[in-house]
A and B are shown apart, each in its own frame.
Chain A
Amino acid sequence: MNAVVMNHLSKKYSGGKAAIADMSLTLEPGEVFGFLGPNGAGKTTTVKVLNGMLQPTGGECLIFGENPSNRPEKVHAISGVMTEHAQMYNHLTGLENLIFYGAVFGIGEEESRKRAQELLWQLELSDAWEQKLSAYSTGMRQRLSIARALMHRPKILFLDEPTSGLDPESAHNVNQMIRNLAKDKGMTIFLCTHQLRYAQEICTRYGLIDEGRLLVEGTLEQLRAGMGSGMKLRIRTDRLPDSIAGYTDADKNEKNRGEASGSRERQGAYDIELAIKSEEEIPRIVSRIVQGGGNIYHVSAKRPSLEDIYFSLTAERR
């Protein structure tokens, strides 16, 4: 059974703005799906529709076979949701909050306490469990929300910007935890984020959305393939044969160019970035420079990161 199925899902608000437009997507159990897009792209609305908090205006969706529009409570029993607007009670301590939500999910007090303490320890909140939530920092609240979403051991976890407001160390920790939940427990993760670097660390598949539309979806390799290879070769040299300058539009990328020479070969200091199709091209380019009398000080090849793909796709749309 698929973990998530979206079939031409749409959500229009009463003002006429389409927050989700004809979105179709399927997630397998155990996937860590990165749902990426700028602010207002429709990520949170999608999470709310998938959990029955909002009714879709078109299409349908299923979470492990349950339709959240008809039986939201059935979906909630198997899903954990962490969003910015799902907060906890300031007058209760961290531990009391978790025990309360445990009880709301029908878990007995002893079992809730056990699970809560385990989660607080994993999320490095064990020193603060007796503090009232009002004394928690943003980062601590964020981590407690993750603990809350995990109390009933859901099959699928919806996380909306889980690492925003966290210091790099905590963010790394949370990422590690999410990765382990998917790897060891087979939990499906639906992760909405802007933080593409963190997303690239843990997601197995991505969907990029803008203005409610799913622009592309696939693994990082599939996304890279979708934009050519996208591979960039960086070379620092003191002489650039014309064949290379012509081979690429190197002039555009050069930095610190020395004195222009009248000869066909350009001399000076070049730091250039070339777009190449495959790694096979690297030795050919290097040998041409060397044969042309150039000294090479640096060669590196870089595959496009998720961030590169994201920016190139969103730039295309603007």
Chain B
Amino acid sequence: MNRAISAIVKKDMREITANRQLLFTIVIVPVVLTLVVPSVFLLTAHFAPEDANDLQELMKLMPGNVQNIGMEELMVGLLFDNILPLFFLIIPIMAASVMAASSFVGEREQSTLETLLYSPLTVKQLFYAKVLAAFLMSMLVSWISFLVMLLGVGLESYVLTGAVLHPGISWLPVMLLLSPAVSLIAITLIVRGSAKAQNVMEAQQKAAFLVLPVVLLLAGQFVGLMLINAWMLVGLSVVLGLLAWFLLRSSLGKFCGEMLLSGR
């Protein structure tokens, strides 16, 4: 049945990319977060007077070894290793939320859900295909954004300070573990919501006002750990990954065709 699942994943992705309006909503968040915001920050750091009192105060709070590097370099490092990773919890979820929210209810609204349910896929496999499509989309957007950011911020930093950017080790668990785990939790919850929603708008509202704030609030708590230790981050990511897996497993058994068709 892998062929069937991959057909559904491809079809769902194509549906998004073929719709300019949807594509714009997906692209705009990463562009703002990975290009516009860092650029503003870097320019501010570059042109801000180095003897500003607040910044001196901030420097004093930093561990001893960083106090010796230049203020601007420190600011770039701070931005790159401590603020930008947080964006990579937001980007994949935002990118996938539109797709995940319309996953079931969107099919129901265009009367294609019944056709899919007449396929030899079980409802579980169908649910899995829908989650997988949104998850792959979120990761795709996330990694492309990461590369764009690496190039953009790296180039700007080089031009402005002459320093070559070295991504910290904590990026590794963020991109490979934390971001996928948080994304999977959010997508599973949104797809579940989509299966029960009466229309796409309801599903999107649930996603934007209920699921996203809660998931981001929870995940945001762990980002502070990046300052402490990358291994700690790995541990917590694994915990979140397990949580995502259990959530997905429990959701898979929750639905039958009749429920999906009626949205109840």
Contact = CB atoms under 8 A, between A and B. Distances in A.
Interface in A45-85: 51-55, 72-74, 76-77, 79, 81, 83, 85
Contact of A86 (B1, B4, B114): B114
B243 interface: no
B117 A104 contact: no
B118 A86 contact: yes
Contacts of B258: 53-55
Interface in B159-180: none
Contact of A53 (B1, B112, B261): B261
A76 B256 CA distance: 15
A282 to B, nearest CB: 51
A86 B115 contact: yes
Contacts of A148: 115
Nearest to B261: A53
Nearest to B15: A91
A35 B235 CA distance: 61
A104 B4 contact: yes
B15 to A, nearest CB: 6
B8 interface: yes
B117 A53 contact: yes
A87 B108 CA distance: 10
A101 interface: yes
A79 B117 CA distance: 12
A89 B112 contact: yes
B121 interface: yes
Interface residues of B, number: 27
B16 to A, nearest CB: 10
A79 B110 CA distance: 23
A229 B258 CA distance: 44
A51 B118 contact: yes
B257 interface: yes
Interface string B239-264: 00000000000000000111001000
Given A85-B111, A148-B115, A106 B15 contact: no
B7 interface: yes
Chain B interface main SS type: helix
A103 interface: yes
Given A53-B258, A55-B258, A87-B110, A76 B7 contact: no
Contacts of A206: none
A107 B4 CA distance: 9
A124 B164 CA distance: 64
A70 to B, nearest CB: 11
A87 to B, nearest CB: 4
Identify which of B117, B118, B122, B258 gathers the most chain A CB atoms within 10 Å of its CB: B118
A76 B120 CA distance: 5
B116 interface: yes
B60 interface: no
A210 to B, nearest CB: 24
Nearest to A55: B258
Contact of B257 (A53, A88, A90, A101): A53
Contacts of B7: 100, 103-104
Contacts of A311: none
Given A52-B257, A54-B258, A91-B18, A104 B119 contact: yes
Contacts of B120: 73-74, 76-77, 104-106
A188 B261 CA distance: 26
Given A53-B261, A55-B258, A104-B8, A87 B111 contact: yes
Contacts of B261: 53
A79 B15 CA distance: 27
A88 B119 CA distance: 13
Contacts of B18: 91
B117 A101 contact: no
A105 B3 CA distance: 8
Contacts of A106: 1, 3-4, 120
Contacts of B112: 86-89
A108 interface: yes
Contacts of B111: 85-87
Contacts of B3: 103, 106-108
A101 B117 CA distance: 11
Interface string A25-55: 0000000000000000000000000011111
Contacts of B118: 51, 53, 76, 79, 81, 86
B119 A85 contact: no
Contact of B116 (A74, A90, A104): A104
Interface of B: 1, 3-4, 6-8, 11, 14-15, 18-19, 110-112, 114-122, 256-258, 261
Closest 8 CB pairs of A and B: A103-B7, A87-B111, A77-B120, A86-B115, A86-B114, A104-B119, A104-B4, A81-B118
Interface of A: 51-55, 72-74, 76-77, 79, 81, 83, 85-92, 100-101, 103-108, 148
7 contacts: A53-B114, A53-B258, A55-B258, A72-B117, A92-B11, A104-B121, A148-B115
Given A86-B118, A104-B119, 8 more contacts: A53-B257, A54-B258, A74-B120, A83-B114, A89-B15, A101-B119, A105-B120, A148-B115
